[in-house]
Amino acid sequence: MKEKISDFIWEYFRNPVRNFSTSVGNLIKWFPVIWKDRDWDDHYIFEVFKFKLEKQAKYIKEKGFHTNSDLDAKRMMLCVKLMEKVQEEFYTMEYMDYEDKDFFFVPTGDDIEDVLGGYYMETRLKKENLNDFFKKYPLVYKKIVTDKKYHIFKIDNEDLTSYEVKSRIALNIGRYNHERARKLLFKTLSENIERWWN
């Protein structure tokens, strides 16, 4: 008789109260993410996915239901970090850390149609250290320079200055590294996602 009473209490009181409490807690946790969510950009898909993976990684690490829970949590957080890099286009823009430029607006003059209210933007290179950037990725640099299929930004134009060639190599390296980060992200997800929840 005690078992039946205990089962009745668990089924009709404790379990529903616990589920209700968890659901309300989830609404509160998810509210800021959903509030900022928009339907027009991949950025927001990553925001939802990152939030879910971070929560899941923390839960799996704390509860430790299976022998690989620590490793699974680390892989989830790797995916979160890769999502951030892809979202921010970190690798695409990384080469800019090796350049120092001034940006300024110049009046168009009377004989040119108005651009940006009579101004156009110019850049002036003060200093560049792209060779250090190339040293950071020696194998990618070699691949970009020797294989034309990676020349999204053409580098074999005779009219380009030596700086422009270096700049385009850096752009191609950034693009290549961005693609690698995205592929690693989805490869890691593809190989692991179904067993993370077991």
Structural domain spans, the chain = 2-88, 92-100+127-179
Q: What mean pLDDT comes out for the span 66-71?
A: 84
Is the model's pLDDT at 63 over the cut of 60?
yes
Q: How far is CA 63 from CA 19, 30, 135, in A?
A: 18, 21, 43
Q: What mean pLDDT comes out for the span 7-28?
A: 74
pLDDT at 48: 95
pLDDT at 35: 94
Quote the mean pLDDT of the chain.
87
Distance CA 47, CA 33 (A): 7
Distance CA 137, CA 100 (A): 20
Q: What mean pLDDT comes out for the span 19-40?
A: 89
Find the range with the poorest average confidence among 28-37, 55-64, 75-84, 131-140: 55-64
Is the model's pLDDT at 151 over the cut of 60?
yes
Q: Under DSSP, is residue 180 helix (H, G, I), strand (E, B) or coil?
A: helix
Which residue is associated with the tokens 């149609």? 113
Contacts of 42 (CB under 8 A, 6+ apart): 87
- Which tokens sit at 169? 């190599």
Confidence of residue 81 (pLDDT cuts 50, 70, 90): very high
Question: Any idea what DSSP says for residue 167?
Answer: H
- Which tokens sit at 131? 């060779």
Q: What mean pLDDT comes out for the span 24-47?
A: 91
Question: Any idea what DSSP says for residue 103?
Answer: E
Within a 13 Å sphere around the CA of 165, how many CA atoms are in the beta-carbon half? 9
- Which tokens sit at 68? 């690989």
How much is the pTM? Answer: 0.79
